[in-house]
Amino acid sequence: MPHEILICGVREYGSPGVTLHHFSASRYFRQPQFEAVSDPTHGLVPTLTGMAGWADGVVLCPKAGDAATGCKLALLVSNNELRNLAARLVPATDGSVAAVYGFSRLGLALDANLCHAVEMLVPHLHHAFMRVLQNEREQQQASAPREERVVTRRQQEILLLIKDGKTNSEIATLLACSQWTVKNHIQNILRRLGTSSRAHAISRAMSLGILRPD
């Protein structure tokens, strides 16, 4: 699927909105254009979510009649050197946006075949992109000075065992320490991550790159 610009975005844990990234081979799409597309009020995501049925499928732009009606998405595309757009929003379980993927400066007709191609590609792209972000967070965590790490190496090891379904007793046996020590570590983990339960701590640790998702 030939294109010159790829826009990817995911909602990070604790973030109110989607953080966009872009990969561009176009000399026309520069930082000012990306900042306009990323605008939290008038950019790509709020414009798409303002359209009826945004979670139902691929959005193509431009379409017949866009110019005549002053379509906000068509204006965003034309004013920021995107030329055209095939975008797919990924809905979260709470009805908000979990991720967005947009392909611009496409060399294909904006038709049903393109929609099908995007629908097939986005799940694989989303998985790969999440892995890239995860690896970046892990590298940042590993390279951070000890005093700046969210959790210690031992606490990270305990988080991994919790994720694997181990009880405090089993963790104590595996780490050759007392259950009291494990309980103390877990309390410190919850405090450091700002969480109130083991399940919440695992979710938070994965979002921060401390643990890898399955």
Do both 105 and 170 map to the same domain? no
DSSP 8-state secondary structure symbol assigned to residue 10: E
Cβ atoms of residues 101 and 122 within 8 Å? yes
Is the pLDDT at 7 greater than 90, yes or no? yes
For residue 37 the two structure tokens come to 């597309």
pTM of the model: 0.67
Q: Which of 130, 158, 177 is the last residue of a domain?
A: 130
Domain boundary among 63, 96, 130: 130
**In terms of domains, do 199 and 114 share one?**
no
Q: Residue 188 pLDDT > 70, yes or no?
A: yes
For residue 134, give the nearest of 211, 20, 193 by alpha carbon. Answer: 211
pLDDT in tens, 134-160: 777 667 666 655 445 688 888 889 999
pLDDT tens profile 84-113: 999 999 988 878 888 999 999 999 999 999
Q: What is the CATH number of the domain that holds 26?
A: 3.30.450
More confident residue, 98 or 208: 98
154 shares a domain with 123: no
Residue 166 Ramachandran class (φ > 0 left, ψ -120 to 50 alpha, else beta): beta
Same domain for 122 and 151?
no
Tokens standing for residue 212: 């890898």
Mean pLDDT of the chain: 86
The range of the structural domain enclosing residue 188 comes to 142-207
Q: What angle do CA 99, 54, 208 make, to 5 degrees?
A: 15
Number of domains in the chain: 2
How much of the chain exceeds pLDDT 70, in percent? 88
Tell me the longest C-alpha to C-alpha distance in the chain: 72
Q: Are residues 118 and 168 in the same domain?
A: no
State the sign of the Cα–Cα–Cα–Cα dihedral 134, 104, 69, 75.
positive
